[in-house]
């Protein structure tokens, strides 16, 4: 049990707040209502995601009355009206070098979480349901590279191969951050100043809240960066074991209102 009364909550989306991923709404009313009630009470609940500032993410922030949104793992921070507050881009020449390596490795990749997957072929290896909604293009259709805040890449035959590629990229690019996500099958690439931890601290500064009095809920590699910034990293029960070992507390599984259940049972009840 954490001896902490949170003054702010930061919530990852996939595998955390989005507890009904196979439905149209993606998230339960229980999660939405719990987050909105806290925001309405003056305890900020902020979305902190690897997703872009899409219509879905903006609408979700509006539903819970969240004042700010951390997107692209901190590569882009906007307010509830989608005004850009902070942007941490990967330098163009660096992005081009990364893409060249990914092409040599015959990896699939997405730029800025836009709904387009680039690959050596238009047949996506180990296609997931979400890839069916994406446009698939070959490498020669990659547009002029600019304003890159995040690259997501996947396509190896094993999670070990993904880890090896991540380690190799890290040895080449000291100015970038690499996170293994999707239970070990994908790598997210950001500028070194674009992490959820740095972004959470930035939002706390805007809110005049001590970040050590904030908590972050997550389940993936891109959430680990919050450890040295916020008061507690709350890891969902569904997270891989290598993520759980970094957690200050293990929450309920994300399914069926896991975030709401954790907040109500382990924070609100405890602190009343």
Rounded to a whole number of angstroms, the distance between the first and last alpha carbons of the chain is: 15
Would you give the DSSP letter of residue 192? T
Region 108-118 average pLDDT: 94
Inform me whether the pLDDT recorded for 269 exceeds 60: no
Give me the domains of the chain, ranges plus CATH numbers: 8-88+194-271 (3.40.50.1000), 92-191 (3.30.1240.10)
Query: pLDDT for 186-212, tens place per residue?
Result: 999 999 999 999 999 999 999 999 999
Looking at 89-244, list the stretches that DSSP marks H as alpha helix, in order from N- to C-terminal side.
92-104, 159-172, 196-207, 241-244
Q: Which two tokens stand for residue 206?
A: 């805007």
Query: pLDDT for 243-267, tens place per residue?
Result: 999 999 999 999 999 999 999 987 7
Model confidence band, residue 118 (pLDDT cutoffs 50, 70, 90):
very high
What confidence score (pLDDT) does residue 130 get?
A: 67
What confidence score (pLDDT) does residue 4 get?
A: 84
**DSSP three-state, residue 151:** strand
Number of Cβ within a 10 Å radius of residue 205: 11
Distance CA 259, CA 31 (A): 6
Which residues are CB-contacts of 214 (< 8 A; sequence separation ≥ 6)? 6, 7, 8, 9, 10, 200, 204, 230, 231
Query: pLDDT for 11-34, tens place per residue?
Result: 999 999 999 998 989 999 999 999
**Residue among 118, 125, 123 at smallest CA distance from 141:** 118
Rounded to a whole number of angstroms, the CA Rg of the chain reads 18
What confidence score (pLDDT) does residue 125 get?
A: 62
What confidence score (pLDDT) does residue 1 get?
A: 58
């Amino acid at each position: 049990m954490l001896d902490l009364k949170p003054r702010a909550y930061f919530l990852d989306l996939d595998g955390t707040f989005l507890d009904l991923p196979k439905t149209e709404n993606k998230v339960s009313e229980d999660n939405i209502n719990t987050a909105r009630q806290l925001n309405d009470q003056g305890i900020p609940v902020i979305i902190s995601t690897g997703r872009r500032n899409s219509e879905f993410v903006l609408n979700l922030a509006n539903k819970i009355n969240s004042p700010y949104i951390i997107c692209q793992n901190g590569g882009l921070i906007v307010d509830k009206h989608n005004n850009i507050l902070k942007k941490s881009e990967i330098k163009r020449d660096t992005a081009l070098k990364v893409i060249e390596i990914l092409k040599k490795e015959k990896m699939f990749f997405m730029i800025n979480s836009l709904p387009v997957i680039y690959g050596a072929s238009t047949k996506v290896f180990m296609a997931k349901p979400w890839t069916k909604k994406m446009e698939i293009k070959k490498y020669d259709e990659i547009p002029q590279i600019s304003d890159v805040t995040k690259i997501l890449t996947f396509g190896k035959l094993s999670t070990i191969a993904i880890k090896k590629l991540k380690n190799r990229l890290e040895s080449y690019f000291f100015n970038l951050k690499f996170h293994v996500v999707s239970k070990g099958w994908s790598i997210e690439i950001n500028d070194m100043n674009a992490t959820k931890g740095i972004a959470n601290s930035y939002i706390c500064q805007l809110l005049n809240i001590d970040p050590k009095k904030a908590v972050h809920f997550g389940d993936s590699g891109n959430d680990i960066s919050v450890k040295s910034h916020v008061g507690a990293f709350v890891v969902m029960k569904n997270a891989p074991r290598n993520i759980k070992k970094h957690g200050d507390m293990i929450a309920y599984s994300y399914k069926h209102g896991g975030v709401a259940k954790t907040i109500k049972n382990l924070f609100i009840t405890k602190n009343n």
